Amino acid sequence: MELALFRDDVTNGGSNVSTQNYYNAIGNNFWNTIPAGAATGKIILLYGSYLQSVDLTGLSDGDAATFDNYTGALGTEINGNTYYVKIYGYAGSPFFGQYGIELYTDSALTTPVSLSSSTGNYGAGTMEWTQAPAVTDREYKFRLQEQSENLEFVTTGAASEEAIVTYEGSTRINIQDDVFLNLGSASNTEILAYSGMSNGDMIYNSTDATVAVYAGGVWQNLQFSGNVS
């Protein structure tokens, strides 16, 4: 019998993230060239607004992004298309996060996209990109084998299955030999203020840099003979 939980790393490349120009009413959000910035080609401006910041987390220079929902001539040119982007941040902007996005045809950012649209306001518009996964596929499960009293906590990665912890018939808990047990940590003052302990309770004593065990009704520091070598 097994109870399993599977974590997917979204193996199709990651999770899709999008943002938009939240404050398109203030003026132009597309420039033939940006007058005061470092961009040399045509650039799309993304403004934030009150409670709506532009968040480009996971997007870096040279990443691909897809543009949509722009209006007018610019929308006709770029909606549904994917370009490589170079990001310009404008510090001190009053618009809750303001960025300029320059479009390129290559990830090396050597060839700017040629667009015929003029400087102007082309609506809110959206930009979507794929944020790379930060985790790998892994399955976690509790498993009770047939005719067994040993409850296992098992994790399965790309290579193999590992029984991390085994609860053996209500008498013993076994931890796999390459898995570490990390005790909670507290200072002398904090440890002595605890209540409700039972003999055998353990915690790491951060003041004395050792393990403390509750035994005989008092906290006692373990004494060690030397470093592992």
pLDDT by residue (tens digit) across 126-144?
888 887 666 667 788 888 8
Same-domain check for residues 93 and 62: yes
Kindly state whether residues 24 and 107 are assigned to the same domain. Answer: yes
In a domain, 157, yes or no: yes
Looking at the domain assignment, is residue 107 inside a domain?
Answer: yes
Whether 37 and 116 map to the same domain: the answer is yes
Q: Model confidence over 204-222: pLDDT tens digits?
A: 999 999 999 999 999 999 9
Same domain, 26 and 121: yes
For tokens 């931890």, name the residue. 175
Q: CB-hemisphere CA count at 13 Å for 87?
A: 19
Render pLDDT for 100-128 as a digit per residue (tens, 0 to 9). Answer: 888 899 999 998 888 888 888 888 888 88
Residue 10, domain member (yes or no): no
Per-residue model confidence as pLDDT tens digits over 151-161? 888 887 656 77
Q: Does residue 106 share a domain with residue 161?
A: no
Q: Do the domain assignments include residue 222?
A: yes
Provide the number of structural domains found in the chain: 3
**What pLDDT shows up at residue 148?**
84
User: What is the per-residue pLDDT across 7-32, written as a single tens digit (0 to 9) for each?
Assistant: 665 544 556 777 877 666 556 777 66
**What is the reported pTM?**
0.52
**90 and 114 both lie in a single domain:** yes
What is the domain range of residue 215? Answer: 182-229
Residue 26, pLDDT score: 58
The Cα–Cα gap between 78 and 122 comes to 11
- Tell me the torsion sign for CA atoms 14, 83, 29, 87: positive
Strand segments (E) across 105-191? 126-131, 138-144, 150-156, 161-168, 172-175, 185-186
48 and 146 in a single domain? The answer is no
* pLDDT level of residue 82 (50, 70, 90 thresholds): very high
